Structure 1
């Protein structure tokens, strides 16, 4: 019957669908992108937007993921260098933990953005890609705790960082699209928790400066990514590729700092 609530809901359905189609039709590429990027500050540092896993790779910039492909091979050399200069058991552990995480991050990112094909494979790789950011943050803390900090409190700090990182990984694996603000906030908060170790670098300004500069580059790149800037060449090198460039630059500074830590231990 037409007076039935269920019937009324069904009658309204097509109108909502047509409205949804009108609301998602961009007025222009630039205006549409601006509205989509608005309010995404706490989704920063994600490797991609959730819908990208369903996107056709042929429609993305041709250099998508290529910087991280190069960084993967460079990180393999970096891992070998860290292991080579390690002179103590603690330094060797730090070298493998941090260097291995760097290799894994770039490998997963390259595999997701370049290699993965099909919606199912891309969805799985997207979860791994997002999760690897938490892994790298926690593994970046490990050399600092092992080689620069002293006292029993450092183990509590390291355990806290790893617990939060594992919680973030579970969030990305089980609820990637449900809590984007929470995931982005955890990235930023966990990354800047490194300020708790700042007193250890007061006598090592070069080392502390490298870590600080790396953190600033990560944050600036993440903010630009959230804003969808800069818009360079949609066909070749877009704002997502610019974000990857910031990741590589910041990661290079972080590697330099960890190299000094491992070599001096």
Structure 2
């Protein structure tokens, strides 16, 4: 019995339907720090891609991707800090919870931007460059109108947006970087298991954060190595 008590001091029980999980103080700390330490590296990585850019189109793409990556870690950190210290900040907490959800859509679209902007695309696949942002806009519309009402639908929309553009990327003439993209995608998928395991696995959300960071790191490496460090392809859609 003592072991159970000691174990569960790091984790609260699962919430009831339509209620949010309330992390323990240990989990709050882990949720904050696991993304806070990545804000500066994300900004530094953005600056590196800017420095390696061959032209204005590459520089713009670097900043779209880099700011999406940095915003993910920044907004996540602020939201979890506010949630931790939320005694008199209910409205602020709700606002940043929405921002936390919105920035995921932006991040997914931004993560595909280098591949869709800098790789050679066919006439049909070329339209995915804009479609991914339309999907992000649809996700943002959902957050502002139906926040937390249909959680499974929200999860399905994240997964659809994450995998649909991958079909276009996988069909590109150059296959360099696809293994890294697949590896990162697998890490995100494993992370979803922990994302839905609050109250079942201690520090589940923090583990989700770590897996997101690892996946983002693998994808950043692929973008740096194959799209910026090496001579980039000219895009068939034009710039």
TM-score (norm 1): 0.74
Q: Is the contact made by 1:201 and 1:208 (CA closer than 8 Å) also made in structure 2?
A: no
Give the counterpart of 1:220 among 186, 190, 206. 190
Shift of 1:59: 7.6
Q: Is the contact made by 1:66 and 1:114 (CA closer than 8 Å) also made in structure 2?
A: no
Residues 153 and 67 of structure 1, relative CA distance in 2, 3 Å threshold: same
Give the counterpart of 1:200 among 151, 159, 172. 172
Matched, 1:51 2:20: yes
Shift of 1:174: 2.0
Q: Distance in 1 between matches of 2:33 and 2:173?
A: 34
Q: Distance in 1 between matches of 2:103 and 2:173?
A: 27
Q: Which deviations, in whole Å up to 9, do the C-alpha atoms of 1:49-82 show, x marking residues without a partner?
A: 9625xx5885843222211101111101111111
- Give the corresponding residue for 1:124: 95
Residues 109 and 50 of structure 1, relative CA distance in 2, 3 Å threshold: farther
Matched, 1:210 2:180: yes
Matched, 1:146 2:111: no
Structure 1: runs of 5+ lacking an equivalent:
1-27, 38-48, 233-237
Matched, 1:262 2:228: yes
Give the counterpart of 1:253 among 218, 227, 233. 218
Structure 2: runs of 5+ lacking an equivalent:
1-7, 233-239
Matched, 1:107 2:74: yes
Q: Is the contact made by 2:27 and 2:206 (CA closer than 8 Å) also made in structure 1?
A: no
Task: Report how many aligned residue pairs link the two structures.
Answer: 217
TM-score (norm 2): 0.81
Q: Distance in 1 between matches of 2:39 and 2:118?
A: 25
Choose between structure 1 and 2: higher helix proportion: 1
State the SS of the aligned residue for 1:152. Answer: coil
Q: Is the contact made by 2:82 and 2:93 (CA closer than 8 Å) also made in structure 1?
A: no
State the SS of the aligned residue for 1:200. Answer: coil
Give the root-mean-square deviation of aligned CA atoms: 2.7
Runs of 4+ deviating beyond 4 Å: 28-32, 55-60
Q: Which deviations, in whole Å up to 9, do the C-alpha atoms of 1:24-72 show, x marking residues without a partner?
A: xxxx998943x859xxxxxxxxxxx9625xx588584322221110111
Q: Distance in 1 between matches of 2:160 and 2:228?
A: 25
Q: Distance in 1 between matches of 2:135 and 2:107?
A: 13
Range with bigger deviation, 141-150 or 104-113? 141-150
